Structure 1
């Protein structure tokens, strides 16, 4: 195994609902509800929803702010 080429994988620019849910360890329905309510910005392409990484972070930060 070549261990000399261990460059970090860049984070994706856009995420699926499933990826956001896994990232923050919440159920996918919680993410879908946030998109539906407008508290999480997302783009819809047909039936596919995509969420920018920074929007997911902003949404999560708003939930954890005291």
Structure 2
């Protein structure tokens, strides 16, 4: 039996748990998200995308 969850839900739960248990401030989370969006528009964006795709393929076993 497999369960299909949207990625945004999984990431949201991980972020919530991280903030709750590691006492990270909300402004820090917002700054990191903003940094991620800005990083995606630099020359490192394709490398991050390729790394993410290959990481999910490894996890999914493809």
Output the TM-score relative to the length of structure 2.
0.27
Output the TM-score relative to the length of structure 1.
0.26
The structure in which a higher percent of residues are helix is 2
